[in-house]
Copies of this chain bind each other. A is one copy, B any other.
């Protein structure tokens, strides 16, 4: 395929009193993820007006690299630790880059 790259936007919403604890868990994902094969970029954002809203903006070389990411021990461990701190289930959307 000509353009296999996948962009992911994953929104993670903290319970109000768990923001710093969740932030620390999410920050721990950065380094191991950036070293994964096929990880082009992986950035963590926090909403300017609602600090309980975090977003990962991700770019993967292809869909299989992104699928492999979800099975890594660092993601599985973060999901398990983050679960009780979330206000709702994460929203994960996958996109193709058109420009």
Copies of this chain, complex-wide, total 2
Query: How many chain A residues have a CB neighbour from B under 8 Å?
Result: 23
A43 touches B6 (CB 8 A): no
Q: Which residues of B contact A53 (CB under 8 A)?
A: 93
In chain B, what residue has the closest Cβ to A50? Answer: B93
The interface bits of chain A over 36-72 (1 if a CB of B lies within 8 angstroms of the residue's CB, else 0) are 0000000111111100010101000000000000000
Tell me whether chain A's interface is mostly helix, strand or loop, or mixed.
Answer: strand
Q: List 24 A-B residue pairs with CB atoms under 8 Å apart, sorted by A's residue number.
A: A6-B48, A7-B43, A7-B45, A7-B57, A9-B9, A9-B55, A23-B98, A27-B98, A27-B99, A30-B99, A43-B97, A43-B99, A44-B97, A44-B98, A45-B98, A46-B95, A46-B96, A46-B98, A47-B93, A47-B94, A48-B94, A48-B96, A49-B94, A55-B95
Residues of A within 8 A of B (CB): 6-7, 9, 23, 27, 30, 43-49, 53, 55, 57, 93-99
